[in-house]
Amino acid sequence: MSFSTQVKDDLTRVISSKPCCRRAEFIAFFLINGNIRIGNGRRLSFFMQTEHSASVRKMFTLARDFALEREITVHRRTQLHKNQVFTLNVPPQERLTAFLHQLGMVDDRGCLRLVFPEQIREQILGAACCRRAYLRGAFLASGSISEPEGSYHLEFSSLEHPQADLLVELLADFGLNGKIVRRKDLEIVYLKGAEEISQLLNIMGSHRSLLEFESIRVTKEVRNQVNRQRNCDTANINKVVNAGMRQVRDINYINSTIGLSQLPRNLRIAAELRLDYPDYSLADLSEISALGRSALNHRLRRLAEIAENIREYGTEEWDR
């Protein structure tokens, strides 16, 4: 089962005790996923389809608050994955006209108005609990979330422009920064950050999935931190080893050309120390020699300069 399906399963178990919230959730699902049909005599009906059976069963239950007659049908797609599709059908009836009139989608003469019901911002979504319910219904209708083991991405897809604007507005009410991107003729509202996705799961009431999301997220962060530390340690080790090898090459070159005996005593001691411990860091060399790191670093740099002088100017100019 995908994580999106798990989240939707969680959300279908959230049944609000407040009629206003139940209506807000149903209206969100209807506005995003509903399809209105005009039949004989201009009689109106609508249907809502989804591959998530629990969602359509929940909408069947929530439609009771509007006293709508309805039925669920099931069929299997004939193309692509041939998944089952669940359809909630609401046939022509007076209560449906009253429902659409309440949304402002039917005028006083009973004629359909193909516009987004802007008044729901005030009439339906005045309370924070109803805004949470609307987001829950919107996710059931068009939401998806990536597997938390990978990158973090949550989206509401296949939206008309007014629907996308409303979702961004509702997300902003809860401090979430929803973004809109257009695909073909429709829009998508999405969240990318793990913090915001976690907050939205909590807002919608998907608490079981939230706990799993946070558990996986913490595990990922610990694993990433360990990997970063390991990479840092590896880089530091490589840096120490490479520096030691370079210094050993310079010292051996000095020894093969002018001999270490020609060096001042302090440089000769540093050279012999490096040859004895080629893979030690400056800190390690300092600890075993009782010399300060700064002094050792200065002497090893001076040895590198001497090697470079010999290469460039010859053995007679090593001390320039």
Instruction: Scan for tokens 């005996």, then name that residue.
Output: 261
Residue 150 token pair:
């990978």
pLDDT at 140: 96
Distance between CA atoms of 135 and 188, rounded to whole angstroms? 14
- pLDDT tens digits, 172-216: 999 999 999 998 889 999 999 899 999 999 999 999 999 999 998
Distance between CA atoms of 128 and 108, rounded to whole angstroms? 30
Residue 275 · residue 244 · CB < 8 Å:
no
Catalogue the E-assigned strands of 128-203: 143-145, 154-159, 179-183, 186-191
Residue 229 token pair:
């530390």
Distance between CA atoms of 189 and 180, rounded to whole angstroms? 5
SS3 23: helix
pLDDT at 67: 92
pLDDT at 6: 94
Distance between CA atoms of 260 and 192, rounded to whole angstroms? 62
Residue 252 token pair:
């051996």
Residue 158 · residue 210 · CB < 8 Å:
no
- pLDDT tens digits, 233-265: 788 888 888 888 898 998 998 889 988 888 888
Question: How many other β-carbons are positioned within 10 Å of the β-carbon of residue 142?
Answer: 22
Instruction: Scan for tokens 């516009």, then name that residue.
Output: 115
SS3 183: strand
What single DSSP character describes residue 51?
S
> pLDDT above 70 covers what percent of the chain?
98
Question: How many other β-carbons are positioned within 10 Å of the β-carbon of residue 119?
Answer: 12
The dihedrals phi and psi of 86, each to the nearest 5 degrees, come to -105, 130
Q: Evaluate if pTM is beyond 0.85.
A: no
> pLDDT above 90 covers what percent of the chain?
45
Residue 22 · residue 135 · CB < 8 Å:
no
Instruction: Scan for tokens 């093969």, then name that residue.
Output: 256
User: pLDDT-based confidence at 80, cuts 50/70/90?
Assistant: low
Question: Which domains occur in the chain, in start order?
Answer: 3-205 (3.10.28.10), 239-317 (no CATH)
